[in-house]
Structures are given as structure tokens and as C-alpha cells.
Chains A and B, each alone.
Chain A
Amino acid sequence: MEEEKRKNRTELPKILVFACRWCGGIGAGRAGWKRLEIPASFRIIPVECAALVEPDAVFRALSSGMDGVAVLGCHVGGCRYNEANHAALKRLDLVKVLLDTTGIGGERLLLAFGTAHEDHQFAGIIRRFTDFLGKQPPLEPWTGFAKNADLRSEG
């Protein structure tokens, strides 16, 4: 059933990207200067710092039809807000655990902390994430619930 669903996907997976104003956003901008060709199925919400991305926003995005969420911030040691990105990384790692626990899958949250120079990194991230998400079954409501139900019926 899941195989079928996977094959029936014609659209590219939808990705929501939170990019910080500095390394994340500038890296994305540089990809534009280089005219690197990237799949058009992602939307960026610019944030001041990756620290501004609330866990709730990630869950909301995944519940609203997005297949994946990417958070782009500055590299370790390079945050303009005094290592706020370090705390953000740890926090969002915990969000991954929650996503795993609920059956949504922590792989649907991508965390990339790089430098502003890395335009190819930005392009590569989006392309690889799009590829990866395309191979996953589409997110449906109650996916996690369905998995738990299976376990329960076994016990």
C-alpha cells in the first residue's frame, strides 16, 4: 500500500525552509548569484536567527501538508547572537526525537548549520532533501496513530 502511494506521487515534495538572516540566508542568496538550478518546491521563511524557530512551527508545518522542514543557521562558533544557534541545534535535535516517537520521522526535519559562503551547500541540501523526501511515503494524518494501532493489536 505504501509502495503504491510512493509511486503515485507526481508532485515534488513540499519543503518549508527556515533560513537565518546571516549564514543561512546569505548562502541561499549566493546560490542565486551563481544561478544554481534548484527544485522549485520549497519556500523560505526568513528568521533573524535559527534560535527563533519554535518547535511548534515545525509541527505545524508538518501538519499542514509539508513533507519536510529544513532549518538553516550559522556554523558552530559563528552565530552573531552569541551562540544562540548552539542552543537552537540542541532544541531542534530534541524535536527530531519527538518526531521519531510520534511516527512522523525525525528525518523530515533537516538541520544544516553552515557558512554564508556555501552556495553549493545550500543547493545540495535542497536537492538531496527533495530527493530523499520524494522516496518517503507522503505524510498522512494519523500516520503515527496507525503505527501504534498495529502494535496494540499484536499485544
Chain B
Amino acid sequence: MAKTVVLLCRCFGELDGIIALDGIADRLRAEREDTSVYLLNSLCMEEDAHRIGALLKQEGARAVCAGLCAAGSKREALWESLRNAGIERSGLFTADLREGCAWIHQGNPPGATEKAKDLLFMALAALDEKKASADVSADVHPECLVLGAGPAGLAAAVSLAGQGIPVHLVERAAQPGGMLNLISRTYPGDDHAKTRIEPLLREVETNNMIAFYPRSKVVSVRGFAGDFKIGIQGPDGTLRLRAGAVIIATGAGVLLPRGLYRYGELKQVITQMELERQWIRGVPDDKRFAFIQCAGARSPERAYCSTICCPSSLKNAMRVMEEIPGGEATIFHRDIMTPGNLLEAYYRKSMEKGVRFIRFHEEDPPEILGGDRVEAIRVRDAARGKEQVLALEKVVLSTPLVPNMDNRSLRELFQLELDSHGFFSETYPLHPLETRVDGIFIAGSARWPVSSDKAMEQGEGAAMKALGMLKRDRVSALSLSRTPGEKPGHGTVEERTCTGCGNCVSVCPFLACSLQERDGRFVSRVNKMRCKACGSCVSVCPNGTMQIPEHNYRMVGAMIRRAFP
């Protein structure tokens, strides 16, 4: 009966071809009490997994040290076979003897063997000090809150309702549809604006899994992934809603080009949105249109492309050519951004229809000429290098989508992050549509400027991610990992020694730490649901109070002591 079992993988000769594993095994047995050492051909094959399980039960082991390859130390299969044998998560430590030793010191077998021996002694020393974090779990409330009933929010709501999840769809305006309520047609099909979302609107009306709250906004947020408690204020007063997940699809605003191209000074200089409103009322009177792209975008203050303005200008320019007798449209651009096959075809179609394109340089933008009304536009044609003056009546400015005014207050309420432009920030690229708070997802133009079809795709994506949370019965803090497998542990406070300095509170990237009053002083408390065990709190704690039990300071000290003989 050994307390600790050491499993050494030969990796079919890859390891013991360079590292003298037998000698190391003897050393380990000699220097440590209560330790059995086994050499196996492989730890990753099915047969060996069974053998390991049986072996560990027979030894009555409580801790396992495994010397194997880098990939093996991350394998769920290994962890599972250990768990089945009754080994706790805190009872395993692995040493990378292949990528980290044998394979990088092939020309130096004695050095590799020495290093492997040290790595195993380090691992055993660590295992002696490794502790387990406490876990908490909670029931998941299987309902979802969707904020915003534009194309993204509608798609998310209908998607979730179709999976049997009750949805609370909260909208600031009086009716659903978002920005599609304000425009006349969509591209590239030139359909009526709401055609795309007709089926979704019908579903919202008829499906009683979806509760729609118009003219409402969020006023308070409490709770965590699996159980958010949200206060909504509507025309009839305040409501309390409970949801296991939240999807934020609040869309974006449009920049008003004050100070650009004499907007505000001349009435005939308008924005794309104002043009859309004119189309909704009827065919405009003017004949000759100029569309100026990148008005307030791709500039030092807003160094991004808003993706939708070029196709929108093509859409409206073609409409001018088709619906206005004698209509003329010229698009003044720095680049035409129409990615993909549909939009590329759209671009070619506009050229066939006779829309003209004149390219200008960023440093030399066109000038609007005229006294009390627009008369002409002067531009230096970048392709020809010559200056041109075109007579026209109407100037339409393509301005970018900008963050909604609500973003800041929503950021405060939900404790999310905004990126440098003010849009909701996603976490690390491998987690699209997720935010730094588990259970809160973002979709559509609230996340980044997109057209309505892309917004719908993202809405469905966010719905699927929310479903991952909502289909669970219970959620445990350790399972809220951003990576395959469980979290390694949680930040844990030793309340006796906590001075309440608050370093951990300010440094935590996931806002998991807070100060609580305890017997007249402040101590730190870790919200285990949010903690991701990054260790930031540990390294700023002035007296070692905050530790991650699976990687505590005694462990590190022990490993340092054993690193070299």
C-alpha cells in the first residue's frame, strides 16, 4: 500500500531511449517512503488506462505523479481514469519528460536524465504540498434574457424558444426590429427592410415562449452565470426577472457628421439614414446625387471600417439610377469595401447600371461648393491625378456605426468591458460572442458594426452558446472554465491574515474579488463563479494571504528547492 504512485511513461522508447528511467525509478524508490514507481509503455492507450486504474486501487494510492509527454499531461482521459480510482484533482501532478526533456536534449542523454530526475523530484515535492480548492455550485435557471429586439436579438430569441427555453425579450423602443425600422431596403436583395425579419417577428408574436417587453430597460443586475436576477423598468413599473444567461444585442448608433462636408450648414448635405427616411416617404425630387464614403470613418479618431456603408451606397446609388428619371449617382470613395461573392456581384451590377466611381485620397477630401445650397463638388480624382468639378443637387454622407449611448450604462450594470472604440469587448479570440462575465454574450452591432444578416447569424451563435449554459441542471464554479476541462482551482483567502488592502480587488481581470466586512474589518472574498485562477491576485497580495491551493507558495518553494541538486 503506497501513498504515492509514480507512473513513468516509456512512450515506446521515446523517453527511455534518452533518459535512463530505470535508474531514476530506483532513486525515487530509495529516497521516498511510501512511494511505488511503475514504468509503463504508454499512459495514453486504452489498455494502459485500465491497468492504471486497477494498479492504483490495489496500491490504495492517494496521490499520483506522472512523468509523460506534454500532451498527456492535459489529457482528460488520464484525469478520468484517476478519478475513477478515487484520486482527487489535487492528488495529481505531471512532469513533461518528452517535449520538455527527452526531445530537446537528444544530444545530451546524461543531462536529460539528470533533468528528468530533478523534474520528478520537483513534481513529488509539489504533490506533497498541493491542496484542493473548495467548489460551489448552483441550480441553473433555464430562462434567457435577450436585450434588444433588432435582427440579432430576434434571431437569438427565436432560436432559444425553438429549443424550449423561455425568453424575456427586452426592447428600448415601442416595437421590435431595431435599425430595420429606420431604413427602406436592405442589400443585396433590395428587399423591403423588414422582409428578412418577418418570420422572426411573427414568431415573437405567436410563440408564448417569448415574452416581449417594449419600452423597457435594465436598471439593476445581480447574480452570476446560471442565475442572474435582473430588474427591468417598463411603462407599467419595475419587474424582477431571473435568467440563467443574458444576450446583449442592443445594436449601434449612427454618427452624425457634424462639421464634415458642410453638414448642418447646407440642407442638401444629408446622411444615409436621412436618405433612407426620404425613400420611405417616396421618391426624392433631386436628380444628381453624390455619395461620399468614409465620412468620419477610417480616420485617426475612428480607425475602423464600418462594413455597411459601401454596400449601402451602392444600394441607394442604384436606386437613384433606376427610380429617378434622369437620375445620376457618383460615389466618391477611398476604397470600395464589398467582400464576398454576393457583394462583389452587387458592385459590378452598380457599375453596369451607370453609377460612377471617383477615388480620392484621405488627405485631399472633396469640397462642397455652393452659397446657400449645394451646387457642385470639387474633387482631386486620385486615378487621373486631375481636379474635377461636378454639378449636383444632393450630397449623401456615409457615416459609420458608432457605439450606442446605452453602452456605458450597460457596461456598469453588467460589469462588462468596452473596447477602445466603445463597443462591447469580447474575450480572447478563441471565445467569440463571449464577454469576461460567464453567461453574458454579445451579438450584432453592439459587438461590432455588421449588416442585419450577419447580426442574425451572430444572434443564433450567441443563442447556442447560451444554450450550453441553460441546458445544465446545475453549474459548478470549477466547470466554468474557458478551457477544455475544469479550472485548475480558485483564488482562496486565508481570512485570518487578510489585511483588506484591496490589491486583489483592483487587479482581478474578471472582477471576482471584493472586500467584505467581517468583525469590524475588511477581508477579501472571491466570487468562485467568476474566478479563472489566473493568479493575478496571488502575486499582488502583500502577505501571501491569497493563494491558489493547487499552486500555493509552499509548493513553488518546494519545487525551487528541488530544481537542482
Contacts and interface: CB of A to CB of B under 8 A. Distances in A.
> Is chain B found bound to chain A in the same assembly?
yes
A66 B535 CA distance: 23
Interface string A5-46: 000000000101000000001001111110111111101111
Contacts of B428: 78-80, 82
B510 interface: yes
Q: Which among A36, A48, A57, A88 has the highest number of chain B CB atoms within 10 Å? A: A48
Given A35-B104, A57-B553, A51 B119 contact: no
B389 interface: no
Given A47-B535, A49-B534, A16 B105 contact: no
Given A38-B104, A79-B428, A80-B428, A60 B560 contact: yes
Nearest to B70: A29
B534 A40 contact: no
A15 to B, nearest CB: 9
Contacts of A64: 560-561, 563
Q: Which among B104, B114, B564 has the highest number of chain A CB atoms within 10 Å? A: B104
Interface in B431-453: 436
A48 B560 contact: no
Interface string B109-136: 0011011001100100000000000000
A146 interface: no
A123 B70 CA distance: 16
B553 A56 contact: yes
B504 to A, nearest CB: 12
Contact of B105 (A40, A47, A88): A40
A21 B108 CA distance: 26
Given A40-B115, A44-B96, A60 B557 contact: yes
B427 interface: yes
Contact of A33 (B103, B108, B427, B430): B103
Contacts of A28: 70, 99-100
Interface in A45-78: 45-49, 51-57, 60-61, 64-66, 78
Given A49-B534, A81-B509, A29 B99 contact: yes
A109 to B, nearest CB: 14
A37 B101 CA distance: 10
Contact of A88 (B111, B417, B536): B536
B556 interface: yes
Contacts of A60: 556-557, 560
A83 interface: yes
A61 B561 CA distance: 8
Given A32-B100, A35-B106, A55 B539 contact: yes
A91 interface: yes
A29 B96 contact: yes
B563 A16 contact: yes
Contact of B535 (A25, A33, A37, A52): A52
Interface string A76-104: 00111111100110010000000000000
A53 B539 contact: yes
A43 to B, nearest CB: 4
Contacts of A45: 122, 556, 559-560, 563
A31 B104 contact: yes
Interface string B61-89: 00000000011000000000000000000
Interface string B502-526: 0000010110000000000000000
A40 B112 contact: yes
Contacts of B483: 80
Interface string B487-503: 01000000000000000
Given A14-B563, A64-B560, A81 B532 contact: yes
Q: Which among A28, A32, A57, A123 has the highest number of chain B CB atoms within 10 Å? A: A32
A88 B563 contact: no
Nearest to A46: B96
Contacts of B544: 56
A61 B106 CA distance: 27
A66 B553 contact: no
B553 A43 contact: no
Nearest to B94: A46
Contacts of A57: 553, 556-557, 560
Contacts of B557: 57, 60
B70 A54 contact: no
A91 B112 contact: no
A91 B539 contact: yes
A51 B564 contact: no
Contacts of B122: 43, 45
Contacts of B561: 64
Interface of A: 14, 16, 25, 28-33, 35-41, 43-49, 51-57, 60-61, 64-66, 78-84, 87-88, 91, 123
The 9 closest A-B pairs by CB, nearest first: A32-B99, A52-B535, A40-B111, A81-B534, A82-B509, A32-B103, A51-B536, A49-B534, A29-B70
